[in-house]
Amino acid sequence: MAKTKSSFVNLIVTLAVITFVGSLSLGFVFDWTKEPIAKAQMARQLKAIEAVVEGYDNNPVTEKYKVVTLDGKDSLEFFPATRNGKRIGTAVKTKSGLGYSGDIWLMVGFDKAGNIIRIQVLEHKETPGLGSKMTLPSFLNQYYGKNPGKVNLKVKKDGGAVDAITGATISSRAFSESVQMAYETFQSVKHDE
Amino acid sequence: MMSNTSHKENFIKGLVKENPVFVLLLGLCPTLGVTSSAFNGLGMGVATVFVLVMSNLVVSLIKNFIPDKVRIPAFIVIIASFVTMVQLLMEAYTPALHEQLGLFIPLIVVNCIVLGRAEAFASRNTVVSSLVDGLGMGVGFTLALTLLGAIRELLGSLSIFGFRLMEGDGMLVFILAPGAFISLGFLIALMNWLKDRSAGIKR
């Protein structure tokens, strides 16, 4: 078969047809994967919440709400954990842009009094082997059970009580900052029983 | 029409003689970027195989309809469509892997191997041999990435495919970017040495 000539009309028609077919098939795939993607994202959030608060029987993801931070620049997602309709804790999704590279996203679990139950690192782009150690228990354990209102959870260099990760003070500082922001936002609103 | 033996040769050339990573040195951005573990290398490789095979297939099917002057934009639209599909499918069905590879999946669009094979092979050959070529190149790419990932994971985190072999810290540099260059350099040297030896050249 002879090759299509590079005439003006042919160029336009060919490209138009190819882009049309491309977008059409992409539309189908998008539609097809929409539900599984939403499900996967929900499962991921639930897993993170499960890791930071325990013993709830509701679905915190469907009941989530947003609270504006104290400086009013941002708002954090709150996932209420209830048992038999009673509030037992809250998972707060918080972030810091002060990390070594990119945003650090954390899920922090608070009990009703504002004590940190556990923390899960959702996403970070810190240096592997240095800042990435923020996901290890040896670092996270320093925060568990503490109340940021009573204990200064800054790194020791800033006068706080947290041992920064060796070689990753910036990452540790960003981590503490985002936990602090979650706590202050958490305290700024009343939570229903 | 090619005979069966040449299909076999066509496939094998992507693995060794024209291995995209070790010999052609194409697509080094994902090669160096994602191979911090064997599993990441494998995942990236499989995603690339899909895109390579599909784009080679479609390009060879419609090669006669595409006027010469717009062939590159046409190829890129085709490749980009398949890459976006892979991304959506991975996000839906392998969310963990998607999280790991994240940024690098869209970059398959500009992977020189994919466009290179469309331009240099699929647009000039039959459908079947283009399929075989895409598969061979893709498998060669996957093997190279998995091997590189395994070496870096072994030296950097003392584990392989996520299984910890030893306690303690590995050599951090192998997880970082310089380790990718160092490992790749040694692998290419090794490949060349093996090639020379099998050709009977002594050094």
The partner residue sitting opposite A29, judged by closest CB among B64, B88, B156, is: B88
Average pLDDT of span B55-74: 88
Query: Which phi and psi (to 5°) does residue A78 adopt?
Result: -110, 130
Residues 121-160 of B with CB under 8 A from A: 156
Tell me, yes or no, if B168 comes closer than 8 A to chain A by beta carbon.
Answer: no
Tell me, yes or no, if A138 comes closer than 8 A to chain B by beta carbon.
Answer: no
Please report the pLDDT score of residue B1 as a whole number. 46
Per DSSP, chain A holds a count of helices (H) and strands (E) of 3, 5
Residue type, A140: L
- Nearest Cα residue to B6 out of B136, B140, B116: B136
* pLDDT exceeds cutoff 50 at A192: yes
Across chain B, what does the average pLDDT equal? 84
Contact state of B88 with A30 under an 8 Å Cβ cutoff: yes
* pLDDT exceeds cutoff 90 at A31: yes
pLDDT tens digits along B84-113: 999 999 888 888 888 778 778 888 887 888
CA A74, A80, A81, A86 torsion-angle sign:
positive
The Cα diameter of chain A in Å comes to 80
* pLDDT exceeds cutoff 60 at A1: no
- Nearest Cα residue to A92 out of A81, A100, A82, A101: A81
Across chain A, what does the average pLDDT equal? 84
Cα B57 to Cα B1: distance, rounded to the nearest angstrom: 16
Residues of A in contact with B156 (CB under 8 A): 128-129
> ipTM score of the complex?
0.74
Contact state of A14 with B156 under an 8 Å Cβ cutoff: no
Q: Is the pTM of this model over 0.90?
A: no
Cα B100 to Cα B34: distance, rounded to the nearest angstrom: 9
Please report the pLDDT score of residue A30 as a whole number. 93
Residues of B in contact with A11 (CB under 8 A): 67, 69-70
The answer to whether A81 and A56 have CB atoms below 8 angstroms apart is yes
Residues of B in contact with A26 (CB under 8 A): 81, 84-85
